[in-house]
Structure 1
């Protein structure tokens, strides 16, 4: 059986973990390697239980961390692990990212059948906004947030970022956040990269690109549903946790505005809802997991109450209430911005020459 491994790093995400795992088991991932760090909500204990059940491999990533930070420390450790070396396909994900396949039965097998020549497939983000939901609810993320960015975006570039599902054939020797790293020069010419529309990609994608070409659709065969905000209450907790790469940097309204797109309804992932729910029911049937999930939900609510007594988080929540959904930048305005981005790149290249 082909082994497809998802690698995840988490902190204080137990309330969302079972849905994430159920969805990705349903769509065909066979193995899961999960690193946790500095958890107060029981995420680490939930992962211990899932490890005992043979459903994930859990590694505590409690430091010390190298210069790349928490996530890259985890990936460096993963590079040496047998579960990674034995996998046929690899994908690094976050707990707010859900693979959404649009062909066949919406599983990895159907995607691979649609792109039989691919050794790497770019899964472009589709950003799902808050939809005006202020309060956190203990309900599936994929069924709660259904309003997203337009299928064709012109700005910002991060709206077209991707994660890479790639064949573990030795072409790349290190995991990365958005793309595999450390290519083998001898194997690189044989790499065949395709995007979510099924288009063959040029050589830049083999080595450097981390976002798809915007201004065109990228989701025909597969997309990556990205729920970076959640409800406003959840975002306050996320802000307190800090950024994934630089955990000491508090998130603000800037991060929110660049991701709170709600122009289009996208319910395509709900085709996986029956299979996901079946998997989720199996997980919640375990009394230990059920208790840990309930405790994590209570922790989130208590944590929000604590944060709201502090001015920075109370002010942030107020700003979120006052901030309207983000307007997608039209083509003419995007061209204005891109012109200056290109000028800055050109001047930077000349300055370093």
Structure 2
């Protein structure tokens, strides 16, 4: 069984080894990684990892599709043998970690729990900043454990998902959140399930991007989403630009929509015993170790350089002044939804 994760990165070498080790531990057999315009040595790390047989690295240097850098990468991926030969596919970002709650916490256990599934929605659980200011060279999954409640009513982004799906040609194209271009002859046989184990209805097979609100979607699996990190890291993320909407600078609206810290979830620690030897082996390679240290140093230097520029200095000051986001209750979310529906009509 071949499980392929497809990743797009820029200037994220400091986080790469943890991400790869975790996802190898949970059962991904193959990685296809696209890099673009890296200044911190991420591309050199990927070249070294490709030499070691760890992954396939493709430079995504443009020109880019009007829908953005990530869409361009996924279009390239569709032509590659590594995609065609995979049994299961999952496009991911560097700030997303698959967290499986069933069996031995691997993909094979997840499929054993949902043997009829041809697609499984992995709903985000948003992990907030926890008032951490400074970036340090520490593992993301152990540093950030404060998160949103299980049942969220607003915003809709809190319930977005990524899709792990069987590569049986029911869908012809990769998508950021869900597979695209369904084969209408095969579609009736598709069986979609959510992370709670519930079978999903037809709209999920063709268009849905987020799970239903106000309930748990995580019994079997969730997608730990760490979109913010330390405040210093968020400033660098604003500098890097967005993978989908690359012309939109990240600001406070993105931060407030995701900075929930009311709950604690350290369930992903159950995979750390599986991850630890893999991560240690990666750091034991002298070239990777040097490149990792260089990426960490680049992040520190880049932050101080950005502090000389008013837009980034102002953003950092606003992060320092803004408290954690407050989850909205069901009644208020219903009112906001009514406003939204009225606006649409």
Using structure 2 for the length normalisation, give the TM-score.
0.99
Please state if 1:191 is matched with 2:205: no
CA displacement at 1:92 relative to structure 2: 0.2
Conserved 8 A contact 2:67-2:245: no
Give CA deviations for 1:186-209 in whole Å, capped at 9, x if unaligned.
000000000000000000000000
Q: What corresponds to 2:52 in structure 1?
A: 53
SS in 1 for 2:250: coil
Partner SS, residue 200 of structure 1: coil
Paired residue secondary structure (1:178): coil
Number of residue equivalences: 345
Structure-1 separation of matches of 2:342 and 2:190: 32
Which secondary structure state, in structure 1, belongs to the residue aligned with residue 32 of structure 2? strand
Describe the SS at the equivalent of 2:17: helix
Secondary structure in 2 matching 1:126: strand
Deviating beyond 3 angstroms after TM superposition, the runs of 4 or more aligned structure 1 residues are: none
Tell me which residue corresponds to 1:322: 321
Q: CA deviation at 1:76?
A: 0.5
Deviations 1:255-283, CA, capped at 9 Å, x for gaps: 00000000100000000111112110010
Determine whether 1:65 maps to 2:52. no
Q: How does 1:340-351 map to 2 (within 5 A)?
A: 340-345=339-344, 347=345
What's 1:274 paired with? 273
Give, in whole Å, the separation in 1 of the partners of 2:161 and 2:244.
Answer: 16
Q: Tell me the secondary structure at the aligned position of residue 91 of structure 1.
A: strand
Deviations 1:111-130 (CA, angstroms, capped at 9, x unpaired): 00000000000000000000
SS at match of 1:77: helix
Q: Which residue of 1 aligns with 2:302?
A: 303
Name the residue aligned to 2:109: 110
Please name the residue that 2:135 is paired with.
Answer: 136
Give the alignment's TM-score, normalised by structure 1. Answer: 0.97
Secondary structure at the counterpart of residue 99 of structure 2: strand
SS in 2 for 1:125: strand
Matched, 1:287 2:319: no
- The Cα shift of 1:247 comes to 1.7
- Tell me the distance in 1 between the aligned counterparts of 2:251 and 2:180: 30
Aligned to 2:211: 212
- The aligned counterpart of 1:234 is 233
Q: Helix, strand or coil: the match of 2:224?
A: strand
2:82 aligned residue: 83
Question: Following the alignment from structure 1 to structure 2, what is the Cα–Cα distance between the partners of residues 288 and 150?
Answer: 41
Could you tell me how far apart the structure 2 residues matched to 1:244 and 1:127 are?
18
Deviation at 1:246, TM superposition (A): 2.0
1:24-39 correspondence runs (5 A): 24-39=23-38
Q: Cα offset for 1:341? A: 1.7
* Partners of 1:248 and 1:163 in 2: CA distance: 23
Secondary structure in 1 aligned to 2:323? coil
Q: Distance in 1 between matches of 2:186 and 2:199?
A: 18
Q: CA deviation at 1:342?
A: 2.0
Alpha-carbon distance in 1 for matches of 2:190, 2:343:
31
Alignment of 1:144-159 (within 5 A): 144-159=143-158
Displacement after TM superposition at 1:343 (Å): 2.1
Partner SS, residue 48 of structure 1: helix
CA offset at residue 64 of structure 1? Answer: 1.0
Output the aligned Cα RMSD.
0.6
- Measure the CA separation in 2 of the matches of 1:312 and 1:76: 34
How far apart, CA to CA, are the structure 1 residues paired with 2:229 and 2:342? Answer: 35
- Could you give the per-residue CA deviations for residues 229-260 of structure 1, whole angstroms, max 9, x where no partner exists? 00000000001112221222211111000000
Structure 1 unaligned segments of length 5 or more: list them. 348-353
Structure 2: gaps of 5 or more residues: none
Counterpart CA distance in 2 for 1:158 and 1:69 is 19
> How far apart, in 1, do the equivalents of 2:329 and 2:32 lie?
40
